[in-house]
A and B are shown apart, each in its own frame.
Chain A
Amino acid sequence: MKKVKTGMGRRSFIKNVSLAGGGLLIGFNWLACKRAAEENGEEVAMQMPDEWFELNGYLKIGDNGIITIYSPNPEIGQNVKTAMPMIVAEELDVDWNNVIVEQAPLNLDVFTRQLAGGSQSIRQGWEPLRMAGATAKQMLLSAAAKEWEVPVTELSVDKGIISHKASDRSIGYGEIAKAATKIEVPDEIELKDNSDFKIIGTSRKNVDAKKIVTGKPLYGLDIYEDDMLIAMIVQPPAFGMEFKSMDAAKAKEMPGIKDIFTIDTYPEDMEREWSDVAAFSKLVVVVGESTWQVMQAKKALNVEWDLNPDLTHQMQILEKSPGMEDTGGLENSDMHTALMSDAGPAKSEVVRKDGDPESAFSNAARVIERSYSCPFLAHNCMEPMNFYANVTDEKAELLGPIQTPEFAEKSVNKRLGFELDKIDVQMTRMGGGFGRRLYGNFLVEAAVISQKMKRPIKLVYTREDDMTNGVYRPAYRVSYRAAIDANNNITAFHVNAGGITESPLFANRFPAGAIDNYLAESWTIDSSISTGAFRAPRSNFIAGAEQSFLDELAEEVGKDPIQFRLDMLKRAKNDPVGEENDYDPARYAGVLELVRDKAGWNNGNSTSSKGVAAYYCHNSYVAQILEMDLKDNEPVIDRVTCAVDCGIVVNPDAAKNMVEGGTIDGIGHALYSELSFKDGGVQQNNFDSYRLIRHREAPKKIDVHFVENGIDPTGLGEPPFPPVQGALANALYKATGKRIYKQPFLPEINAESRELKT
């Protein structure tokens, strides 16, 4: 058992959620209440308790032993709404079948880091969630000990029943919960040993599954409140343009239309949060009674737009490398390609240098140099951007899909001037996130529109609005150079990476640390196009590029690609170069060895073309082997074998689902997806022109294997996405004899493939 300080004063810890809700809850009872057992599809008759007792902000216990656990973080499909409460339930020692899960509202008095990003929910929630469960358990035990006048050390718990063996007494949590509320919050508590876990490490079904398969309202778009109007936006047709004037007379007369006006989401003097990214701040807004009516009025509007050559937008997440001249104005994909090809040599900053790469290159027997690039991507969450807002003079109620509720609340505070305690932000289940909903411009827009209309409104983006008003995955480019000596040793490695508008470089990741002479450089180009985080930011491109280059190097020096990587990792482990390396070579090698064995890499029976890749990001390690054949010049993927080291796996079957999804998503974006620009305008605005992977194109089989090492859990939502792109590129090379340097891959192997096949 591990003793930990709770470090929580009674005041901060005990503040309860109903208080945090501030009584602002409107008619959203459909967001709440789900008995975990219902997951199996069995109807479980559940007696609701007469009284609830809150032991801390994470949970409450009913007088009949039913437990409500609040899931603090936004649910975007990564299944934290099941996994986070599982962790609390584990330490609380209750029967999972007696647990109801509710999505917690934003409440920073109780919860830390209510954010869906960086695959950090479980990793960073691990200790607080365990502590919440263990603290409550301790209080329940103390209350029972007090009542029975026995030492607490003589008590044991199983599934929410406390027993005292010596006197043959037992009592349920529900019966002692009231007394437990009077117990001081302990300063120190004991956490379970991993070997005592009963819930963690066992597969539990998605707590919302029954609602999902029966079509119950769950998502922001499903909100229909009394008195609510529908709002939609009209935005400039191109990046680099802005609103000039409009003639709304005809549209205003159309049936159901209530008003048409412009808003400025982020006035120039407003201090923006990092999440306030929006290329188009001034928007036309149409408000009406129904979605279809508003869609029709949008089409009938006459809006004139102006060129604004000064509009540029910068990524606000990272420290920027020295920028190129702003491109600004109306940009084209051809121009992006040309700018990126020129940028490397012209304007790079050295981020890391080991040894003497210059001499190593000049003394090399041969030098291999390759460049890789990828286009912008749109997130394309299945549920387009939307938000419900009800802003009155007194308060602002906001409900919907948002990955960063804390920042959204601050943005509303700055934009509307409301005090934070008058702003209530609640999260619905989200129809995907992928990073797009980190940027809450649509939430601020909804708040501004509701304030102006003095009515509750739901802002809805059409698919076209969503795809053409994005915060896109940047376009990236990377060039690699490797020096090889006469004995086929890699003596120097040079990576030069950049993008519009950020660099994908991770200078301290593998193969840094494995090569004596190493140089990493970075550059960026500004743009009028808004860009931001997309599932596994930066890794989502550079992993595939790096793993393709390593594959080519392995072939060049005549080594098996897995052995080649393992040899480099051995070097990084035994005699690392530099001190800043941010990966563990042993865990890295571990997933490669596991995937090699599980996929039967060395058994030569299979006739399909195989590619391998491995990558470290979001604190986790993933290796994948992809096997494919070509049919009519299109890849048919037979199997992907995945080996994953993310430490303890909280909910194994759901974790498998996530790895399967990440694998398919990675393959799909690398093969098919592209967002291109012409005169500042996005060339793809719906799924007829923007190609996403479909059923027929998914791998026939995905095998997932987790490393069991008992290490505290790390990220899982993002890590399976990046490496599979490298495994795919390497398998495609085996199948076609052609190395691919540009995403999307499919047009590179099959020029006719650009058309969409449905």
Chain B
Amino acid sequence: MAQFDLNINGKKHSVDVDPETPLLWVLRDNLKLVGTKYGCGIAQCGACTVHFNGSAVRSCQVPISAAQENEITTIEGLSENGDHPVQKAWLEHDVPQCGYCQAGQIMAATALLKNNPSPSDAEIEDVMNGNICRCGTYNRIKAAIKSASQTV
């Protein structure tokens, strides 16, 4: 166990955990930021996607010791009132079915649009391919990203 100082959604947090503990479980168990989901734990599903200094990463693969002193944004910190253009596009297209994968999808999509404000269909598919949606909302995700791309 050791002390780690974290910067999450612009707030300072300090946790006392095993240095190997993945960021995912610190977010969920210690900080109760449960919007970041567990789906596989092995970098295969994308449910745990957060922003790490602005890039999309899988929080199940980031040991907390590596998270220190970096800027981390979770779905809870994406916007103040849930009104980020990507979140709004998700509502407009009524994307979710069960909804479990969607926080990860949204985090992946926002990072994509930051780097590439008007992605082609193929670019969207390539970047989003790492995020599984078991319910099969892929077409709506793509439509929502395209809507959002006109506003971000």
| Residues on A facing B (Cβ under 8 Å) | 39-41, 43, 76-79, 203, 205-206, 208-210, 212-219, 221-222, 224, 230, 255, 290-293, 296, 380-384, 429-434, 462-463, 653-654, 657-658, 660-665, 668, 686-688, 692-696, 698-702, 758
A687 and B45: CB pair below 8 A? yes
- How far apart sit A352 and B37, CA to CA, in the bound complex (Å)? 49
- How far apart sit A654 and B95, CA to CA, in the bound complex (Å)? 9
B25 and A660: CB pair below 8 A? no
Q: Which of B97-126 contact A (CB under 8 A)?
A: 97-103, 106, 121, 124-126
Which one, A218, A430, A664, contacts B136 given CB within 8 A?
A664
A213 and B96: CB pair below 8 A? yes
Neighbouring A residues of B45 by C-beta, 8 Å:
382, 687
B134 and A702: CB pair below 8 A? no
Asked whether B13 is an interface residue with its Cβ less than 8 Å from the other chain, the reply is no
Neighbouring A residues of B81 by C-beta, 8 Å:
43
Neighbouring B residues of A213 by C-beta, 8 Å:
75, 82, 87, 90-91, 96, 102-103, 106
Neighbouring A residues of B62 by C-beta, 8 Å:
none
Cβ of B81 to closest chain A Cβ, rounded Å: 7
A77 and B97: CB pair below 8 A? yes
Cβ of A118 to closest chain B Cβ, rounded Å: 18
Neighbouring B residues of A290 by C-beta, 8 Å:
17, 21, 25, 29-30
Closest to B103 in A: A215
Neighbouring A residues of B32 by C-beta, 8 Å:
224
Contact with A along B121-152 (1 / 0, CB 8 A): 10011101111111111111110000000000
Q: Which of B13-53 contact A (CB under 8 A)?
A: 17-18, 20-22, 25, 28-30, 32-42, 44-45, 47
What are the nearest 3 A-B pairs in CB distance?
A215-B35, A431-B100, A77-B98
Neighbouring B residues of A687 by C-beta, 8 Å:
39-40, 42, 44-45, 132
Neighbouring B residues of A686 by C-beta, 8 Å:
40-42, 44
- How far apart sit A700 and B122, CA to CA, in the bound complex (Å)? 10
Neighbouring B residues of A662 by C-beta, 8 Å:
136
B29 and A292: CB pair below 8 A? yes
A696 and B125: CB pair below 8 A? yes
Neighbouring B residues of A663 by C-beta, 8 Å:
136
Which one, A41, A79, A222, contacts B34 given CB within 8 A?
A222
Asked whether B83 is an interface residue with its Cβ less than 8 Å from the other chain, the reply is yes
A291 and B28: CB pair below 8 A? yes
- How far apart sit A354 and B25, CA to CA, in the bound complex (Å)? 61
- How far apart sit A34 and B40, CA to CA, in the bound complex (Å)? 30
In this complex, how many residues of chain B approach chain A with their Cβ under 8 Å: the count is 66
- How far apart sit A460 and B82, CA to CA, in the bound complex (Å)? 29
Neighbouring B residues of A698 by C-beta, 8 Å:
136, 138-139
A214 and B34: CB pair below 8 A? no
Closest to A75 in B: B98
Neighbouring B residues of A694 by C-beta, 8 Å:
129-130, 132, 138
- How far apart sit A76 and B98, CA to CA, in the bound complex (Å)? 6
Which one, B35, B41, B141, contacts A216 given CB within 8 A?
B35
Neighbouring B residues of A695 by C-beta, 8 Å:
124-125, 128-129, 131, 138, 141-142
- How far apart sit A77 and B22, CA to CA, in the bound complex (Å)? 28
B42 and A660: CB pair below 8 A? no
Which one, B37, B76, B97, B125, contacts A214 given CB within 8 A?
B76
- How far apart sit A430 and B96, CA to CA, in the bound complex (Å)? 12
Closest to A215 in B: B35
- How far apart sit A758 and B35, CA to CA, in the bound complex (Å)? 24
Which one, A255, A432, A660, contacts B100 given CB within 8 A?
A432
Closest to B84 in A: A213
- CB<8 Å pairs between A and B, sample of 20: A43-B81, A210-B82, A210-B91, A213-B82, A215-B34, A291-B38, A380-B134, A382-B100, A383-B98, A383-B100, A433-B98, A657-B137, A686-B40, A686-B42, A687-B42, A693-B136, A694-B138, A695-B128, A696-B126, A698-B138
Contact A429 to B91, CB < 8 A, known contacts A686-B42, A687-B45, A688-B42? no
| Residues on B facing A (Cβ under 8 Å) | 1, 17-18, 20-22, 25, 28-30, 32-42, 44-45, 47, 74-76, 78, 81-83, 87-88, 90-92, 94-103, 106, 121, 124-126, 128-142
Closest to B81 in A: A43
Contact A668 to B99, CB < 8 A, known contacts A293-B18, A687-B44, A700-B121? no
Closest to B47 in A: A382
Closest to A214 in B: B82
Cβ of B132 to closest chain A Cβ, rounded Å: 6
- How far apart sit A78 and B99, CA to CA, in the bound complex (Å)? 11
Cβ of A212 to closest chain B Cβ, rounded Å: 4
Neighbouring A residues of B95 by C-beta, 8 Å:
209, 657
- How far apart sit A373 and B102, CA to CA, in the bound complex (Å)? 34
Closest to B42 in A: A686
Neighbouring A residues of B131 by C-beta, 8 Å:
695
Cβ of B60 to closest chain A Cβ, rounded Å: 10
- How far apart sit A698 and B137, CA to CA, in the bound complex (Å)? 9
Neighbouring A residues of B21 by C-beta, 8 Å:
290, 292
Cβ of B84 to closest chain A Cβ, rounded Å: 9
Which one, A212, A221, A381, A758, contacts B99 given CB within 8 A?
A212
B135 and A432: CB pair below 8 A? yes
- How far apart sit A381 and B37, CA to CA, in the bound complex (Å)? 13
Most chain A CB neighbours (cut-off 10 Å) among B37, B88, B92, B96: B96
10 additional contacts (CB under 8 A) given A291-B38, A292-B22, A688-B44: A41-B88, A76-B98, A77-B135, A210-B82, A213-B103, A255-B1, A290-B29, A382-B45, A429-B98, A665-B134
- How far apart sit A382 and B136, CA to CA, in the bound complex (Å)? 11
Most chain A CB neighbours (cut-off 10 Å) among B41, B76, B98, B141: B98
Cβ of A122 to closest chain B Cβ, rounded Å: 15
Cβ of A647 to closest chain B Cβ, rounded Å: 21
Cβ of B10 to closest chain A Cβ, rounded Å: 15
Contact A41 to B98, CB < 8 A, known contacts A696-B125, A700-B121, A702-B139? no
- How far apart sit A340 and B148, CA to CA, in the bound complex (Å)? 51
Neighbouring B residues of A700 by C-beta, 8 Å:
121
Neighbouring A residues of B96 by C-beta, 8 Å:
77, 206, 208-209, 212-213
B29 and A291: CB pair below 8 A? yes
Neighbouring A residues of B75 by C-beta, 8 Å:
213-215
Neighbouring B residues of A79 by C-beta, 8 Å:
97
- How far apart sit A664 and B138, CA to CA, in the bound complex (Å)? 8
Contact A217 to B124, CB < 8 A, known contacts A290-B25, A430-B98, A657-B140? no
A384 and B91: CB pair below 8 A? no
A382 and B44: CB pair below 8 A? no
- How far apart sit A291 and B98, CA to CA, in the bound complex (Å)? 23
B94 and A206: CB pair below 8 A? yes
- How far apart sit A455 and B142, CA to CA, in the bound complex (Å)? 44
Cβ of B6 to closest chain A Cβ, rounded Å: 15
